[in-house]
């Protein structure tokens, strides 16, 4: 039987920005809102995050073409941030990248 990754990775916490028409918020506000909730839920410190993934779907106007907006908004300048774009599956693709980073041992905690 093939050895999977289910026993190598766990979700420590999650966060989500409030749904709705949030015209008073920009992309960074929404990122920070979800991040603060996720960190609190996980009970970890920012310094424990080894790598991060940033998912967008056809979003070049507000956040550019790199992972820099995530790094700047969350003040995570010293870790690798990977931006992925896969249309409706962008969030799943980012999650997948973080899972495989932890499973491979490249990161202990990934965002």
Q: pLDDT per residue over 38-68, tens digit each?
A: 999 999 999 999 999 988 877 665 556 667 7
Examine residue 13 and state whether it is found in any structural domain, yes or no: no
Examine residue 100 and state whether it is found in any structural domain, yes or no: yes
Examine residue 21 and state whether it is found in any structural domain, yes or no: no
Model confidence over 99-110: pLDDT tens digits? 999 999 999 999
Examine residue 16 and state whether it is found in any structural domain, yes or no: no
* HEC per residue, 8-27: CCCCCCCCCCCCCCCCCCCH
Examine residue 61 and state whether it is found in any structural domain, yes or no: yes
- Domains in the chain, number: 1
The structure tokens listed for 93 are 């693709």
Q: Which residues neighbour 58 within 8 Å (Cβ) at sequence distance 6 or greater?
A: 85, 87
Segments forming the whole domain that contains residue 79: 44-104
The DSSP letter of residue 60 is -
The structure tokens listed for 90 are 């962008």
The confidence score (pLDDT) of residue 63 equals 59
The structure tokens listed for 13 are 């916490």
């Amino acid at each position: 039987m093939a050895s999977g990754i289910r026993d190598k990775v766990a979700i420590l916490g999650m966060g989500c920005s409030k749904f709705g028409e949030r015209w008073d918020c920009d992309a960074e506000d929404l990122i920070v809102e979800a991040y603060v909730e996720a960190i609190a839920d996980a009970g970890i410190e920012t310094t424990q995050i080894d790598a991060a993934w940033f998912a967008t779907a056809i979003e070049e106007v507000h956040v550019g073409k790199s992972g820099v907006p995530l790094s700047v908004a969350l003040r995570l300048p010293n870790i690798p941030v990977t931006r992925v774009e896969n249309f409706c599956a962008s969030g799943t693709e980012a999650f997948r990248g973080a899972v495989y980073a932890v499973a491979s041992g490249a990161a202990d905690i990934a965002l």
